[in-house]
Chain A
């Protein structure tokens, strides 16, 4: 695998620039830029709104040595717009020789505390890379995405120390033209706060957020139950 020079960062969250996917992908890419990589970012949902933007997204992929896809877990897999993008890339790259030179990396996050719930998305990305002819350079998955909530990692303290370290290790390896090592994947999956605390904060956070809009008891509404109960 050649040393990656041009990096395409594809953000697969519909929340775009305010997403945790953006926080994670940007941190990795900034580490690569510090080493001399040239990076460009595309927000997938915005990139699919016109033929012109789709063409620009495919050009970005064409011109890259390393493609980083950062995305949230969405109903156990990838968001429909991310799947659409993978389908478009696969169609575009069909029969295009020399694609093995491009490397593909996936960074998954979810709001569940267990990183392993995103394992399936990494399998999907590995299958995609294999079918398209990209070199699979590995994947990282984290749980507890609520700890980041779209903030830049540089602005967050110790609770994301494992993720920062994991992304730094990944950047070192990718810059050397190597796949992401297992130790980075293990670190990425480690919650920076106790699991019970994350769960407690999560449940409390939903209620606090809902209170700004509706009475708490409304949260439990069952609008489609035959004998409509709230």
Chain B
């Protein structure tokens, strides 16, 4: 089994790094192959919105940089972890620069009805479970609700199960480990 961890921390964000380590340690322990990607160390060009991944090189981004391989990593994984500071209720720009680059290549442009709404059809038969863990400095109901809704929407659009949870930057390391453990339980790890 394989997991990829998109670490959207800014350099020096110790809480997100601690979450990444907790996930990595737990999954490795049970025999998973884990690939953490610290996004702040990688130059990923922003998505141009050119639709080349639908119309010219179907399933593959036309920009040949580190972002090009993200779609492959996602499709080859069983679980994709998204680690981010909760920024105005959504993902940080650091995480989003990666997230803008893989959904279009792994989907088809054609419209499909899902629960009464129109979404893009699936290109593949199977997509990895999405697990998003957002870090907040303080509790803020509106931001948390927006973040949870966003992750759920990503799940609908990527035709997969999506789970979200919130960690506070002031949490003690043992509390972070506990939250990671309970989040992994939701994915099926005991």
Q: Beyond A77-B150, A123-B89, A124-B146, is A214–B49 a contact (Cβ under 8 Å)?
A: no
Report yes or no: A218 in contact with B58, Cβ–Cβ below 8 A.
Answer: yes
Interface string of B75-115 (1 = CB under 8 A from A): 11000000000011111110011011001001011110000
Bound Cα distance from A80 to B44, whole angstroms: 11
Binding stretch for chain A, among B17-25, B118-126, B181-189: B118-126
Q: Is A213 within 8 A of B55, CB to CB?
A: yes
Q: Inside 8 A of B103's CB, which chain A residues have their CB? A: 75
Q: Does B30 contact A (CB under 8 A)?
A: no
A128, A199, A209, A219 — which one has the most chain B CB atoms within 10 A of its CB?
A219
Of B72, B87, B96, B108, which one neighbours A220 at CB under 8 angstroms?
B108
Contact with B along A212-225 (1 / 0, CB 8 A): 11100011111111
Report the Cα distance A114→B117, complex, angstroms: 7
**Once bound together, how far apart are the Cα atoms of A222 and B56, in whole Å?**
14
**Interchain nearest-CB distance for A58 vs B (Å):** 16
CA distance A40 to B49 in the complex (A): 24
- Chain B's nearest CB lies how many Å from the CB of A54? 13
- B71 interface residue per 8 A CB criterion: yes
Inter-chain contacts of A218 with B (CB < 8 A): 58
Find residues 116-146 in chain B having any chain A CB closer than 8 Å to their own CB.
Answer: 117-119, 123-124, 142-143, 146
Q: Does B27 contact A (CB under 8 A)?
A: no
Q: Does B154 contact A (CB under 8 A)?
A: yes
Which among A77, A81, A127, A128 has the greatest number of chain B C-beta atoms within 10 A?
A77
**Known contacts A15-B49, A83-B87, A222-B124, A123 near B146 by CB under 8 Å:** yes
Given A113-B118, A123-B142, A83 and B91 contact (CB-CB distance below 8 Å) = yes
A-B contact pairs, 8 of them (CB 8 A): A19-B49, A79-B96, A117-B117, A120-B150, A213-B55, A219-B55, A223-B72, A224-B71
Min CB distance, A145 to chain B, in Å? Answer: 11
Find out whether the CB atom of A74 lies under 8 angstroms from the CB atom of B47: yes
Whether A81 lies near B110 (C-beta < 8 A) is no
Contact of B143 (CB < 8 Å), options: A87, A127, A210, A223: A127
A75 near B154 with CB under 8 A, answer yes
Q: Given known contacts A127-B146, A131-B88, A213-B55, is B119 in contact with A112 (CB within 8 Å)?
A: yes
- Interface flags for A84-109 (1: CB within 8 Å of B; 0: not) read 10110010000000000000000000
Q: Give, as a whole number of angstroms, the nearest-CB distance from B154 to chain A.
A: 5
Q: Chain A residues near B58 (CB, 8 Å)?
A: 210, 214, 218-221, 223
Given contacts A74-B47, A120-B150, A203-B110, contact A83 B92 (CB under 8 A): yes
- Bound form: Cα–Cα A88–B51 in Å: 28
Q: A13-B49, A14-B46 are in contact. Are A120 and B153 (CB under 8 A)?
A: yes
- Residues of chain B within 8 A (CB-CB) of A76 are 150, 153-154, 157
Chain A residues with Cβ under 8 A from B153's Cβ? 76, 117, 120
Assembled-state Cα–Cα distance A218/B49 (Å): 20
With A206-B109, A219-B108, A222-B59 as given contacts, are A72 and B49 in contact (CB-CB < 8 Å)? Answer: yes
- A45 — which chain B residues lie within 8 A by C-beta? 46
Cβ–Cβ contact A206 & B54, under 8 A: yes
CB–CB A124/B89 < 8 A: yes
Shortest Cβ distance from B73 into A: residue? A224
Tell me how far the C-beta of A77 lies from the nearest C-beta in chain B, rounded to whole angstroms. 5
**Interface set, chain B 19-76, CB cutoff 8 A to A:** 46-49, 51, 54-56, 58-60, 71-72, 75-76
- Asked if residues B89 and A87 are in contact (CB atoms below 8 Å), the reply is no
